[in-house]
Amino acid sequence: MIICTNKMEYPLRTQCQRVHKQVMVNGEKERVSLLFMKALVSRGSVDAVSQQMASHPQYLESFLRTQHYILHMDGPLPLPYRHYIAIMAAARHHCNYLVYLHSAQFLRVGGDPLWLQGLEAAPPRLRLLDHINKVLAHQPWLTACSHIQTLLKSGEQCWSLAELVQAVVILAHCHSLCSFVFGCDTDSDFVPLSKSPNGTPPTFCPFDAANGNTNVPQLLATPSEHITRRRSLDSSCDMVCLKERIQKSQEEREKREERLLQTQTLQQTDMEEEEEMIFFTDPTRFITDPDLCYQEFARREEDHFQVFRVQDYSWEDHGFSLVNRLYSDIGHLLDDRFRSVTTLPSMHSPDLKRAIWNYIHCVLGIRYDDYDYGEVNQLLAQDLKLYIKAVACFPDATKTPVCPLSLAPLKTSERIHVNLLIMEARLQAELLYALRAITQYMIA
């Protein structure tokens, strides 16, 4: 008798592969669920950015760990300062999403609501950051030792070196996060909500509605839900729809009403005034010199800007050790982010990932002597290059959905992967410029 082993083993092998794949998928889902649960415990909501990154849980974990550390854990800067600096950074790119988010966080950690009236209402020490903020955001190659010296030697308003390093990390983190927000079209989907005439519970974050958190007041739903509800109330079946919603959310409504009854105090009145201020926070309040924007680095030879050569100052050999020494452990967290994004499972080849990374650094004035830049033109289609450059250098100019044809055939997770590469490459570029300037100040 002749036994065809291949035919007998094939179904078993296929079944094992399916089981292995299912275990991997279930493991990834559990990992994402755990991350979201942690976010719910620490912040009371899962923000839209985290939901976008959920297709890459390995990176999401690293990102959330770093963001939590710089905004909430031990560090030289007070918590309100950290969120205000984040507001300043996001405002440079007119990112309503992040300005709104950090305005709410700023008030939650005890920030003075008067500061949200604009940059001129902030303390002088914070206003001193304005120049390095706009330079890092738009033309990071202009970052100079003199900027560091101004901040560290400004009399009573001077910054310590440790404070400045944390501030720079927050600025670079939020600038690059703006690229991800606009690249994934998160900001265009976000519209600040009008204030509820009935007030809101003090523990409610207005951002929860946009995050898919169903345990929020009905009057503060997302814009699309608000439009849907308004249309349904104008139709003949409005009462039927309303009754169905009431029945489904009866328990949640009772809890909300109980919280509302408990907050009819002067404290709630103060909080409502603060929340109203958030709803109408305009990013332009926090910026100066609005005409400053990205300019082609390669076309500015007349200004004699020198190319930043990585063999002279790199993250691995210089930036990592400096930032880790002045801001404990942040170097390890950032390094983990850079490594995570470049090692994510993807249909993109390692050569393509490197081409994207090096191209972003190139348009920001950073060059690798050991890299053949001819590969950029070979591996990156023209429309993909335009997309990368727009999202990395002037994300706020992409007010409409940005999705070139070269990205359309890709899965959502792959498009997000490209945006993650853009974000991390830009983050590292800004840090390199800032840390090099700090190094020059320290050895001067």
Q: How far apart are CA 24 and CA 21, in angstroms?
A: 5
The answer to whether 95 is a known catalytic residue is yes
DSSP bridge pairs for 309: 367
Which tokens belong to 9?
Answer: 């083993």
Helix, strand or coil, per DSSP, at residue 188:
coil
- Return the CA Rg of the chain: 24
Could you give phi then psi for residue 308, rounded to 5 degrees? -80, 110
CB atoms under 10 Å from CB of 133, counted, come to 26
Q: How far apart are CA 56 and CA 179, in angstroms?
A: 17
* Phi-psi region at 199: left, alpha or beta (left = phi > 0; alpha = psi -120 to 50): left
Angle in degrees, 0-180, between the axes of helices 238-248 and 250-262, rounded to the nearest 10: 80
Q: How far apart are CA 238 and CA 242, in angstroms?
A: 6
Catalytic residue among 95, 178, 184, 393: 95
Q: How far apart are CA 89 and CA 177, in angstroms?
A: 10
Q: How far apart are CA 56 and CA 416, in angstroms?
A: 9
What is the Cα 382 distance to its own chain's centre? 26
Helix, strand or coil, per DSSP, at residue 405:
coil
Contact by Cβ (8 Å): 361, 153: no
Residues assigned a catalytic role: 95
